[in-house]
Amino acid sequence: MKEKLIEIVGKENFSDNAEILESFSKDQSFAKSMKPWFVVKPANSVQVQGLVKWANETRTPLIPVSSGAPHFKGDTVPSVPQSVIVDLSGMNKIINISRQQRMAIVEPGVTYGQLQAALAKEGLTLSTSLAPRANKSVLTSVLEMEPRLNCIHQFNYTEPLRCCEVTWGDGNQLFTGEAGNGPKDLQKQLEAEKFQVQSNGPNMMDLLRMVIQAQGSMGIVTWVSLKCELLPSIKRMYLVPAKKSVDLEDFVYKVIKVRFSDKLYVMNKAYLANLLGENSEKIVKLKKDLPNWVAAVGISGDILLPELKVRSQEKDIEDFAKECGVHFLSKVPGATGEEVLTKSINPSDEKYWKQTYKGSFQDIFFITTLDKTSIFIEAMYELAIEEGYPTEDIGVYIQPQHMGTSVHLEFNLPYNPEDSKEVNKAKELYTKASKKMSQLGGYYARPYDIWANIQLNKDAKSYNILKQLKNIFDPNDIMNTGKLTLK
């Protein structure tokens, strides 16, 4: 076993060191810990394919990991014994950037900071998730469809993801989207001025759907093409405060309807304080100063008449605010729009911002619609009171998606990992609230850990289809074994 793995990736990229194995045996979530067998670090897609073929021959589970530690969702923790971690962080090349097509192609180890710096040189940028971790893989972020900040211009749920190269669980390697029409050589395609723009394909298939939100359970993706945006020459952020979340609903709907702004999301004071605070003392102070709820509205202009675009949108959105009885401001007590913008669009510091307040946290997130968010929020506060969890610590983040047709609703539960009572309260609330949110209609589109059971148990027909597809693409169940299955 060991000798064959070394033959595939090289001795320097193989590890059975106890300390390294221990670091992959658990994460910051409540997922059950389990130590992997080995850790391998492939350098290219040829080695990845070799690993998958070896895993099929030996019936060894593989767990692809692209982002650096710490992890928070349980998807990188082995679910079965004798699993091998496939660490893709060393594959960190930006393969191509096309200013003309506004496209970029990146490997799994490329982080947001690395990519944004390279894109900026070409006058481009990529819409990110909210303040991503410094060592977060861009590829993983888009595959798992983390909500983007540019929701109003997100014409498809999978944006900005377009094409990819994937080694399926059966060992076959394929390009998806228009890249799948050939030739199966990325450099030759680029030389022929093919830029992997269309996500549908090859032919009439849309195989991209098989790898998104799958936690690496169908195959290993070794590059993705991404649709980028022009780098704004003007960036402004405005804040709309309110006492209750429902007070912001009409305003948000009006902004979505006309497709104004390029960023739009809502937070309660606890979530915003965590985002802005550099330490726990500042977070406590911000929670006293900030309004109960804040809608953040970003407006930008790039090349064509940027000042006119920004000025006209400012006036129209301000009118929407007046019609809805709220105020469109450049700052609120405790925060300015510029501060919120800077924190939102840039990668987090080395220590992830959600860890700042108490050291650890647990998120609960799912998809719903904006008009139903208040129902979930009220239910969460009721459960927190029952469990003795401080309601003032619960962060709430509402991020519209797919041109506002739905929203990503997220609850952030900070806790002190050194205090067993706090840990138990957070874990109990996480478990009960996860079930309650599903009962109320929340959809776990990214079913990590216990959410897989909760979501899949609601639809036996869809689960049977999922199992059939898994048998086709990963017949020996070697890809992240135990994830996306009922237990």
Pair of tokens at residue 483: 């994830």
The type of residue at 359 is: G
The DSSP bridge partners found for residue 64 are 86
- Tokens for 23? 């670091």
- Provide mean pLDDT across the span 95-124: 97
Output the DSSP codes for 20-67.
HHHHTS--SSSPPP---SEEE--SSHHHHHHHHHHHHHHT--EEEE-S
Residue 486: pLDDT over 70: no
Mean pLDDT of 94-114: 97
Is there a contact between 142 and 357 (Cβ–Cβ < 8 Å)? Answer: no
**Does the residue 452 lie in any domain?**
no
Pull the structure tokens for residue 225: 């093409």
pLDDT in tens, 378-430: 999 999 999 999 999 999 999 999 999 999 999 999 999 999 999 999 999 99
The whole-number pLDDT of residue 79 equals 95
DSSP secondary-structure letter at 76?
A: T
Kindly state whether residues 225 and 295 are assigned to the same domain. Answer: no
Same domain, 312 and 190: no
**What is the domain range of residue 143?**
1-231+457-487
- The amino acid present at 120, given as its one-letter code, is A
Verify that 86 and 185 share a domain, yes or no.
yes
Q: Give the total number of structural domains in the chain.
A: 2
Question: What is the C-alpha to C-alpha distance for residues 222 and 44, in angstroms, rounded to an integer?
Answer: 8
Residue 249 lies in a domain: yes
The SS3 call for residue 235 is strand
pLDDT tens digits for range 156-196: 889 999 999 999 999 999 999 999 999 999 999 999 999 99
Residue 484 pLDDT grade (very low, low, confident, very high; cuts 50, 70, 90): confident
Do 224 and 238 have their domain in common?
no
DSSP output for 189-212: HHHTT------SBSTT-BGGGGTT
Instruction: Tell me: do 396 and 279 sit in the same domain.
Output: yes
343: pLDDT strictly greater than 70: yes
Name the band, by pLDDT with cuts 50, 70 and 90, for residue 152: confident
Across the range 421-449, mean pLDDT stands at 97
* Nearest partner of 69 among 37, 39, 47, 105, judged by Cα: 39
8 Å CB contact between 387 and 380:
no
Same domain, 122 and 188: yes
pLDDT mean across residues, the chain: 96
Tokens read off for 192: 């022929």
**Residue 348 located in a structural domain:** yes
pLDDT of residue 172: 97
pLDDT score, position 459: 87
**Cβ density class 305-332: b for 16+ within 10 Å, e for less:** ebeebbeebbeebeebbeebebebbeeb
CA distance 252 to 126: 23
For residue 194, what are its two tokens? 């093919």
User: Is the pLDDT reported for residue 151 higher than 90?
Assistant: no
Higher pLDDT: 92 or 349? It is: 92
Token readout for 167 is: 């080694």
pLDDT of residue 153: 83
Rounded to two decimals, what is the model's pTM?
0.96
Place of tokens 């982002």: 67
3-state secondary structure of 279: coil
Distances in Å between the Cα of 349 and the Cα atoms of 170, 346, 371, 415, 469 are 39, 9, 34, 20, 40
Asked if residue 225 and residue 242 are part of one domain, the reply reads no
pLDDT over 70 (residue 328): yes
C-alpha span between 228 and 102 (Å, rounded): 5
**Has residue 129 got a pLDDT over 80?**
yes
Looking at the structure, tell me whether residues 469 and 350 fall in a common domain: no
Q: Is the pLDDT of residue 487 over 70?
A: no
Among residues of the chain, what percentage have pLDDT more than 90?
A: 92
User: Has residue 1 got a pLDDT over 80?
Assistant: no
pLDDT given for residue 173 in this prediction: 97
Same domain, 219 and 331: no
